[in-house]
Structure 1
Amino acid sequence: MVPSLFLAHGSPMLAIEQTEYTRFLSELAGTIKPKAIVLFTAHWEQDVTTVSSSDGIYDTIYDFGGFPDELYRVRYPARGSSIVAGLVKERLERSGIQTASDSSRGLDHGAWTLLYRMYPEADIPVVQVSVNPYLPPADQYKIGEALRGFGEDDILVIGSGVTVHNLRVLKWGQKTAEPWAVEFDDWLLERMNEGDTASLFDYAALAPHARQAVPRAEHFVPLFIAMGSGDPGRKPEIAYRGYDMGTLSYLCMRF
């Protein structure tokens, strides 16, 4: 059985940099050997939950600019799985969640930068799934909940996003975390540890510095999806915690 994960994808540079966080990703992958990966990425937004449905090799999407040439030479030639995609769609629709299929979209950097560090051989089938940041948190949780139990079949569900993600307040070159960013993550961790989903769903009103930490929800909602898909009988665990550029959170959770 494999857990569900919320992983921070942060800067695309994690694909080529050697840092404490990239070492963590490699070590984490050494403890989890899934037969397939279902990944919800903050960088694919659709009104209807859309599932990559192909058995072909994905293109690598470079959905960013201004980075070193080396980064644009990285390829992650993972294959899709129409069988696993069908299971995802079946589970979602059984829970009353409308779905769509996409047979041509490649892997965006919310997916391939993480997977490149975790499973560099690209030998595990990947199904990428979109997010809708405008759905309320309870609905995001329900999307994840529809996939609960995938871990028993060794299918790894990953929510790829960031808890504190505000590019306007980054402190370039600063390695120490801004107190307000830490306070926001502390609040999340306390509520998760207590199993207080009601407060988590109302984070925008209750969490300290919520508007500053989450000016837009696309990077935040994968947390609720990963949480919903996890084992309800197990306490959430911090898999990794760190910060870059003062405010960019690399908090990762295991559910």
Structure 2
Amino acid sequence: MMPSLFLAHGSPMLAIENSEYTDFLGNLGRKLQPKAIVIFTAHWEEEQVTISSVEGTYETIYDFYGFPDELYQVSYPAKGSPELAGRLQNLFDQAGILAQFDAKRGLDHGSWTLLSRMYPNADLPVVQVSVNPFLPPEKQYQIGEALQGLGQENILVIGSGVTVHNLRMVNWGQTEPEEWALQFDDWLIEQMEKSNRENLFQYETKAPNAKAAVPRPEHFVPLFIAMGSGQSKPAVLYRSYEYGTLSYLCLAF
């Protein structure tokens, strides 16, 4: 059985730089061997749930700028799965969630940077799914909940985002995390361990430093989707910080 995962995709440089975090991703990929991957990415926003139904090989999207040329040479030629995409739409339909297909969009860096470290051979079918950051947390959870049970079929569901993601407050070169960022993630972990969804859904008013940690929710909502799709007790898989505030908290559900 596959867990559902929330994974931090952080800087695109994780695709080409070796670190403790990339070692973790590689080990995680070797441990988890699914037959297919469904990934919700913070870098694809649509008002309505949109499912990649790419037939053949995905294009690699370089949705960033100002990075070394080497990063733009990385390609992740994963195959799509229209069959699995259709299965997802049926599950969403049963849950009363409208979903549409996109047969052209490639994999953005919220997907391929992580997957290139976990499954470097690009030999697993991938279905990428959009997020709508403006839906309330309860609705995000329901989107994930519609996919409960996929793990029992050896399909890995990933929410790709970041818990503490405020690029205006990163401190380049800083190695020690800021206390306020730690407090926000500590609160999240505590509420998840207590299964206190009510508090989690009200994180904007109840979590310490919520406005600093989540100035805009597109990177945060994949957490609720992963949580909803899981069927196990939450577990912290990895935790570190880059530039003082950028969180690499990863969780399994």
TM-score band w.r.t. shorter chain = over 0.9
**Residue identity matched to 1:217:** P
Residue 175 of structure 1 and its aligned partner are, at CA, apart by: 1.1
Paired with 1:249 and 1:219, the residues of 2 have a C-alpha distance of: 11
Residue 54 of structure 1 and its aligned partner are, at CA, apart by: 2.0
Paired with 2:47 and 2:133, the residues of 1 have a C-alpha distance of: 9
Secondary structure in structure 2 of the residue aligned to 1:227: helix
Q: Does 1:239 align with 2:242?
A: no
**Residue identity matched to 1:106:** G
Secondary structure in structure 1 of the residue aligned to 2:222: helix
Deviations for 1:25-44, whole angstroms, at most 9, x for unmatched residues? 00001110000000000000
Paired with 1:205 and 1:54, the residues of 2 have a C-alpha distance of: 40
Residue 55 of structure 1 and its aligned partner are, at CA, apart by: 2.1
Q: Which residue of 1 aligns with 2:205?
A: 205
Paired with 1:53 and 1:86, the residues of 2 have a C-alpha distance of: 8
Over the residues paired in the alignment, what is the CA RMSD in angstroms? Answer: 0.4
Q: Does 1:108 align with 2:120?
A: no
4+ runs deviating over 2 angstroms? none
Q: Does 1:121 align with 2:158?
A: no
**Residue identity matched to 1:77:** P
Paired with 1:102 and 1:166, the residues of 2 have a C-alpha distance of: 30
TM-score normalized with structure 2 length: 1.00
Q: Does 1:140 align with 2:140?
A: yes
Secondary structure in structure 2 of the residue aligned to 1:156: strand
Paired with 1:54 and 1:246, the residues of 2 have a C-alpha distance of: 38
Map 1:214-225; keep pairs closer than 5 Å.
Answer: 214-225=214-225
Paired with 2:82 and 2:61, the residues of 1 have a C-alpha distance of: 20
Q: Which residue of 2 aligns with 1:11?
A: 11
Paired with 2:73 and 2:31, the residues of 1 have a C-alpha distance of: 28
Q: Which residue of 1 aligns with 2:150?
A: 150
Q: Which residue of 2 aligns with 1:48?
A: 48
Paired with 1:244 and 1:106, the residues of 2 have a C-alpha distance of: 28
**Residue identity matched to 1:228:** G
Aligned length: 253
Deviations for 1:91-131, whole angstroms, at most 9, x for unmatched residues? 01110111110000000000000000000000000000000
Q: Which residue of 2 aligns with 1:186?
A: 186
**Residue identity matched to 1:211:** K
Paired with 2:226 and 2:8, the residues of 1 have a C-alpha distance of: 12
TM-score normalized with structure 1 length: 0.99
**Residue identity matched to 1:239:** L
Could you tell me the percent identity over the aligned residues? 64
Q: In structure 2, list runs of 5 or more residues that go unmatched.
A: none
Q: Does 1:173 align with 2:173?
A: yes
